[in-house]
């Protein structure tokens, strides 16, 4: 058995049969981390001692006959933008270096109650602002499929860790595609829940009306189990929806009989890589074979999504990041200066270039004389984008698109061209603006044998629908099982 590459549901069966122990799982993952982490650089923090201590405790309880939940004893990594009590949380920024939260996020408490084992915190673009995980203040994460390429972002550390077999499951956050885009580029499954389906309490804010925490996993069944645990109302988050959580496992049906699926013409644009287009159209044919009725639809305001997003997101970022002033916590310049100079110097030293760029843009669009022309207009276009989806979902139950217009690009390729970097999220941004649910899963290989992702979108609270489509497609193609890493990182991977 090659434990680092087994999905959580398989590990769960082995634990129930007492064919393996939790300690064996955790030890196997840390052995894998020791072997490949110097190449991947997915983690900012690891807690081997704490993880093994938790593993031994669960092995003791299992031996005593304690009931195993679906993810009890399963290791998980956490994007370093989610607070864990007494563990440093930096958002991959120098300005938060040394910040140790006095509380844990709601999702962390839920994972703990479910018996999951947190093994560490993963790298990201600073404050989740980026599409490549090159904007971290501490290190650049690499894509396990090709170490010269990026893993996507901003949840690149979490997706690379899962793809490389360093951890079984991970949590990321998605503000404009930051779970789905790296999941696509790394050949794993990533889901952005409906806005408000998962509590944001303890998630350090980038853009509060867009941010969502979601699962990153090896396959759709694991994604379903992890979403089940982290979903639900939370009195600590006023934006969290106060509605019951269905049993998502009921959605795992291997056919799509009579399901209506839309294919938006605006997402198959010029500029999309030829191989990406081919994989998506092949996926559409498989969905038809599974019983779905696929029809072309229109989302006419899609071309305005990127501009709209980068006005709204930067405006909210400017407001949220104003709290980092060198006074209450985080970095403070060592220079002895007056108060205003201390604010300026601390922020200048603490923030990276991309974060500064977005703060300045957001401050500008919120400034007197420009607010209505930029931020106000962007909010009205956001409404039009949401209405596009509302109209589409009157005709279809789900929408399929590419997740990314390309496979993973090379490290450094787009760092000098912010606009080209921003366009990496062109197919994922609209879902955040509209607050709808979306999932990305592998649908084959494209240029240079790098993974291609299929995105499935659904109306608010349609997680069961998109999980059903994803699961049926996954079972028909077995891409999540077939995809194997290059030899450099797969010497000890189980043969498929």
Cis before 437 (ω within 30): no
Q: Which of 21, 41, 70, 79 is catalytic?
A: 79
Beta-bridge partner residues of 458: 437
In sequence order, what DSSP letters do the residues of 323-383 get, joined into one string?
G-SSSSSS---SS---HHHHHHHHHHHHS-HHHHHHHHHHHHHTSTTTHIIIIIHHHHHHH
What number does CATH give the domain 3-302+382-489?
Answer: 3.90.1300.10
Return d(Cα 361, Cα 311) in angstroms, integer. Answer: 8
Is residue 83 pLDDT above 90, yes or no? yes
Per-residue pLDDT tens digits for 314-340: 999 999 999 999 998 889 999 988 999
Per-residue pLDDT tens digits for 276-285: 999 999 999 9
Map out the domains of the chain as residue ranges: 3-302+382-489
CB-CB contact of 210 with 308 (8 Å): no
Is 249 a known active-site residue? no
Residues ≥6 apart with Cβ < 8 Å to 397: 259, 260, 261, 458, 462, 465
Q: Which of 131, 155, 178, 440 is catalytic?
A: 178
Is 79 a known active-site residue? yes
Is 270 a known active-site residue? no
Q: Is 342 exposed, middle or buried (0-12, 13-18, 19+ CB in 10 A)?
A: middle
Per-residue pLDDT tens digits for 417-463: 888 898 889 999 999 999 999 999 999 999 999 999 999 999 999 99
Average predicted confidence (pLDDT) for the chain: 95
Is residue 353 pLDDT above 60, yes or no? yes
Sign of the CA dihedral with 76 first, then 79, 84, and 88 last: positive
Which two tokens mark 62?
């299992």
Rg (CA), the chain: 21
Per-residue pLDDT tens digits for 469-493: 999 999 999 998 888 887 667 654 4
Q: Which of 21, 93, 131, 154 is catalytic?
A: 154
């Amino acid at each position: 058995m090659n434990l680092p590459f087994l999905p959580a549901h398989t590990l769960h069966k082995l634990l129930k049969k007492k064919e393996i122990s939790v300690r064996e799982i955790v030890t196997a993952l840390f052995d894998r981390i020791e072997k490949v982490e110097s190449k991947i650089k997915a983690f900012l923090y690891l807690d081997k001692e704490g993880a093994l201590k938790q593993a031994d405790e669960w092995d003791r309880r299992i031996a005593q006959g304690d009931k195993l939940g679906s993810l009890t004893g399963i290791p998980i990594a956490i994007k370093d933008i989610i607070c864990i009590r007494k563990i440093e949380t930096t958002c991959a920024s120098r300005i938060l270096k040394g910040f140790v939260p006095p509380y844990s996020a709601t999702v962390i408490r839920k994972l703990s109650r479910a018996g999951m084992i947190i093994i560490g915190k993963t790298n990201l673009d600073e404050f989740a602002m980026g599409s490549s995980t090159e904007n971290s203040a501490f290190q650049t994460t690499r894509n396990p499929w090709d170490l010269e390429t990026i893993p996507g972002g901003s949840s690149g550390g979490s997706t690379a860790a899962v793809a490389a077999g360093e951890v079984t499951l991970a949590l990321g956050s998605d503000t404009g595609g930051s779970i789905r885009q790296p999941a696509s580029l790394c050949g794993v499954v990533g889901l952005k829940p409906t806005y408000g389906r998962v509590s944001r309490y303890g998630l350090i804010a980038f853009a509060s009306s867009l941010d969502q925490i979601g699962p990153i996993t090896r396959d759709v069944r694991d994604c379903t189990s992890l979403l089940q645990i982290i979903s639900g109302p939370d009195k600590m988050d006023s934006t969290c929806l106060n509605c019951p959580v269905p049993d998502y496992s009921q959605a795992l049906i291997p056919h799509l009989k009579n399901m209506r699926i839309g294919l938006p013409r605006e997402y198959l644009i010029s500029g999309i890589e030829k191989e990406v287009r081919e994989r998506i159209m092949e996926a559409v044919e498989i969905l038809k074979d599974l019983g779905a009725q696929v029809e072309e639809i229109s989302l006419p305001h899609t071309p305005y999504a990127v501009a709209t997003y980068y006005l709204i997101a930067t405006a909210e970022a400017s407001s949220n990041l104003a709290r980092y002033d060198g006074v209450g916590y985080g970095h403070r310049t060592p220079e002895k200066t007056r108060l205003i100079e201390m604010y300026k110097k601390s922020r200048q030293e603490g923030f990276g270039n991309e974060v500064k760029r977005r703060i300045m843009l957001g401050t500008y669009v919120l400034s007197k004389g420009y607010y209505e022309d930029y931020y106000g207009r962007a909010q009205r276009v956001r409404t039009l984008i949401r209405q596009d989806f509302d109209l589409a979902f009157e005709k279809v139950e789900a929408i399929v698109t590419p997740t990314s217009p390309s496979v993973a690009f090379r490290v450094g390729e787009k760092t000098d061209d912010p606009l080209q970097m921003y366009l990496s999220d062109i197919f994922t941004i609209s879902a955040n603006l509209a607050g709808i649910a979306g999932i990305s899963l592998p649908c084959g290989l494209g240029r240079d044998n790098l993974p291609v992702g299929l995105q499935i979108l659904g109306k608010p609270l349609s997680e069961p629908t998109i999980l059903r489509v994803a699961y049926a497609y996954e079972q028909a193609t077995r891409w999540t099982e077939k995809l194997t890493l290059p030899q450099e990182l797969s010497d000890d991977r189980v043969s498929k």
